[in-house]
Structure 1
Amino acid sequence: MKKVQRYDYFLVLDFEATCENEKKMNPQEIIEFPVLKVNAQTYEIEDTFQQFVQPEYHPKLTRFCTELTSITQEDVNSAKIFKEVFEDFRHWMEEKVGLDKRFLFVTCGDWDLKTMLPSQCALHNIPVPPYCKSWLNIKKSYAIKKGDYVKGMYPMLDGLNLQYFGIPHRGIDDCKNIVNILRALADLQCEFLPTYYTE
């Protein structure tokens, strides 16, 4: 019996971004924007938002980035730019989630919504929606329940006796693995609440 949660949906999000081996790209840009709408009672995935994003400041992906994420130059060349993808995401939030519903974003770490989304929005002079300013870092839920703060997804999967699903460092597959972690922690009577708020 899973613990009853105070939300209608969990929105599991995991960006992939432009990157280079052992040095930081400036600016770093989102190249995959995936979100899974998860029923907070059944933990079933009810809807998916997933789009590749064409980077504008560093349009050519590094070899390291493609090898890490499996995202190809062709994937991003045929994609929309961030401003258009973000508009699609906002429509999805309104039509498929419902802004009147109780929902909580869930991430593996704080980087996605604390750092990456605000910096990407700033590049395009887009305000960050209020609903993207609080979230649950699933690593903190794991730490509370298991007494062990881990740095990444794989130790959580190991600690919960779960196998990794899909292609490592692909946003949509990472989201599915976060859902499995969420489900397993719910089985352990974990209550999911926001762990971070931004202004």
Structure 2
Amino acid sequence: MAELKQLIFFDFEMLCSKTGMLFEDMEAIRLGAVKVDVESGLVTGFDRHIRPQQNSPLSTFCKELTGISDSDLEKADDFPEVFKDFLFWIGGVKKARFFSWSSSDILRLKADALRHNLPQATIEKISKRYVDFQAVFTKRASRTAASVEKALSFYELSFIGKPHHPMYDSYNTLRIYESFEEHLVKTDLIMVQQFIFQEAELPPVERLSQEIKYIFQKDLGEFYSNLNDAFRMKDAWKLIKKTKKLVEKYENILLSRSGIFDEELISGVEELINFYKELQTAYREHCSYTSKIMILHEQMVEPLQKICV
């Protein structure tokens, strides 16, 4: 892959109705984006209305939500022309990485490209370089899918610009991305709050690992107390799902980039994840032999027992 030169954050506004619409019919009516030059940090913007194939007047709901009028679309270029200008503005797909806040934007791009019979090779190149940053932020920090405004608030930031303006939505997604990448301790504290402490108050950073270990041992002790030597296969599947939830609660500790978690806590989470992987392997093996019972060997559960003590 070519050397990364620029980051592209983009967003579509689409046809919409208060009563709902099929996604296939929700043509793009505005494309906004910001481009970050990786070397210089220079940020530039792109903002264009798009005339949809459907020529019905916009619903009152859509006008109020997006701030787009029928006259804006009547004088706008169609999707192929706007997309051509977008590609020119990017200056080279192979040297770019693309981001949006939810996968609906890349799905809209693909759908409208198909609608207008645009070359799929270019769309595929963008797709290969695309990141759904809302999904990344949800998995690594917020636990549940947050709006742009909510994600900004985690970093004590406010939305800049006009909501539902795709260039400003893109710019604010960039701000979340930069905060996520630059404020490593804050990002880990957001994660710990959302995944582990939830409504409880966070302890000071110097006591954080100790407090998490206490909660971790409590969770693991409860989990371990319900383990048996053998499970019926349908109960084994329930055990896998239960283990997965526990892993999801703590696995981000291993992905931490801030260095605020101690080695004992990291080691404990590693043991839990290793158990989960071994459990999945054992389940697949027992399924392949059409077993009715799954046996948990002592060497599988012994590391968990040591953590609980």
Q: Under TM normalisation by the shorter chain, which class is it?
A: 0.7 to 0.9
* 1:180 corresponds to which of 154, 169, 175: 175
SS at structure 2 position matched to 1:146: helix
The answer to whether the 8 A contact 2:33-2:170 is kept is: yes
Aligned partners of 1:7 and 1:186: how far apart in 2?
Answer: 16
| Contact 2:94–2:125 (CA under 8 A) maintained in structure 1 | no
Cα offset, 1:145, TM superposition: 4.0
Q: Is the 8 A contact 1:31 1:76 kept in 2?
A: yes
Q: C-alpha displacement at 1:180, in angstroms?
A: 1.0
Structure 1 counterpart of 2:105, which letter?
A: D
Do the aligned partners of residues 182 and 41 (structure 1) sit closer, same or farther apart at CA in structure 2, a change above 3 Å counting?
Answer: farther
In the superposition, the TM-score normalised over structure 1's length comes to 0.80
Deviation at 1:57, TM superposition (A): 1.4
Superposed CA offset, 1:137-183 (max 9, x none): 11233234425232421221111211011111111110111111111
Taking the aligned partners of 2:87 and 2:135, their CA distance within structure 1 comes to 27
State the structure with bigger RCO (CA 8 A, min sep 6), 1 or 2. 1
- Spell out, residue by residue over 1:85-141, the C-alpha distance to the aligned partner (whole angstroms, 9 max, x if none): 122222223xxx33452x21010011111x211111111111331322131111233
**8 A Cα contact 1:150 1:156, kept in partner:** no
Alignment of 1:1-199 (within 5 A): 7-25=4-22, 27-40=25-38, 43-45=41-43, 47-93=44-90, 97-99=91-93, 101=95, 103-113=96-106, 115-128=107-120, 129=122, 130-134=124-128, 135-189=130-184
Identical pairs, percent? 23
Q: Which amino acid aligns with 2:135?
A: K
Letter in 1 for 2:92: G
Where do 5+ consecutive residues of structure 2 fail to align? Answer: 188-254, 256-309
**Partner SS, residue 14 of structure 1:** strand
Q: Report the AA paired with residue 34 of structure 1.
A: G
Please identify which structure carries the higher strand content: 1
TM-score by length of 2: 0.53
Question: Once superposed, what is the RMSD of the aligned Cα atoms?
Answer: 2.3
Give the residue type in structure 2 aligned to 1:126: L
Unaligned runs of 5+ in 1: 1-5, 192-199
- Secondary structure (helix, strand or coil) at the match of 2:25 reads coil
State the number of aligned residues.
Answer: 180
CA displacement at 1:184 relative to structure 2: 0.9
